[in-house]
Amino acid sequence: MKRTLQFSTLALLLPLAMLSAKTPIPAEGMPEYGNWKNYTKNEGLPSDKIFCVRVDGDRTWVGTSNGLALFEKGKWKTYSTKDGLAHSGVLSIDVSELTGDVWIGTMGGLNRMSAGIFETFTQFNSGLPNDVIYTVTCVGKDVWVATGGGAGHLDTYSGEWEIFTEKNAPMHEPWTYGICAGNDRIFIAAWGGGVIEYNPATKQFRDYTDPDGEMEIDLFPDDGLVHDITTGVSYANNVLWVGTYFGLSRYDGTKWKGFFDHDSGLASNFINFLKAEGQVVWLCTDKGLSSFNGKEWLTYTTGEKGGTLVQWKDGKNSSRPASTGIAHNFVIGVDFQGDDIWVATSHGLSHGTRIK
Q: Give the pLDDT score at 24.
A: 34
Q: What is the distance between the alpha carbons of residues 135 and 151, in angstroms, rounded to a whole number?
A: 9
Q: Give me the pLDDT at residue 217, please.
A: 62
- What's the CA gap between 157 and 161, in Å, rounded? 11
CA atoms of 160 and 155, how far apart (whole Å): 6
pLDDT along the chain (356 residues), means of 10: 32 35 46 97 97 98 98 97 98 97 98 97 97 98 98 98 96 94 97 95 95 66 90 97 97 96 96 96 98 96 92 91 96 97 98 94
The secondary structure of residue 168, as a DSSP letter, is T
CA distance 80 to 180: 27
Contacts of 294 (CB under 8 A, 6+ apart): 25, 26, 27, 279
pTM score, two decimals?
A: 0.90
First to last CA, the chain: 48
d(CA 221, CA 196): 21
Q: Where are the alpha helices (DSSP H) in the chain?
A: none
Number of neighbouring beta carbons within 10 Å of residue 172: 14
Burial class (CB in 10 A: 0-12, 13-18, 19+), 42: exposed
pLDDT score recorded for residue 8: 32
Q: Are 98 and 139 in contact (CB under 8 A)?
A: no
DSSP-derived secondary structure for 304-338? TTEEEEEEEETTEEEEEEES---S-S-EEEEEEET
Q: Nearest CA to 54 among 86, 117, 100?
A: 100
- Looking at the DSSP assignment, which residues form a beta bridge with residue 313? 296, 316
pLDDT score at 13 = 36
Task: List Cβ<8 Å contacts ≥24 apart for 84-89.
Answer: 84/111, 84/117, 84/118, 84/119, 84/120, 85/111, 85/118, 86/110, 86/111, 86/118, 86/120, 86/122, 86/131, 87/131, 89/51, 89/65
CB 91 within 8 A of CB 51: yes
Q: What count of Cα atoms within 13 Å lies in the side-chain half-sphere of residue 324?
A: 13
Please name each of the domains of the chain with its CATH number: 45-297+331-346 (2.130.10.10)
| Full DSSP string of 5-54 | S--PPPS----GGG---SSPPP--PPP-EEEEEEE-GGGT-S-S-EEEEE
Enumerate residues 6+ apart whose C-beta is below 8 A from 196. Answer: 151, 164, 169, 170, 171, 187, 188, 190, 205, 206, 207, 208
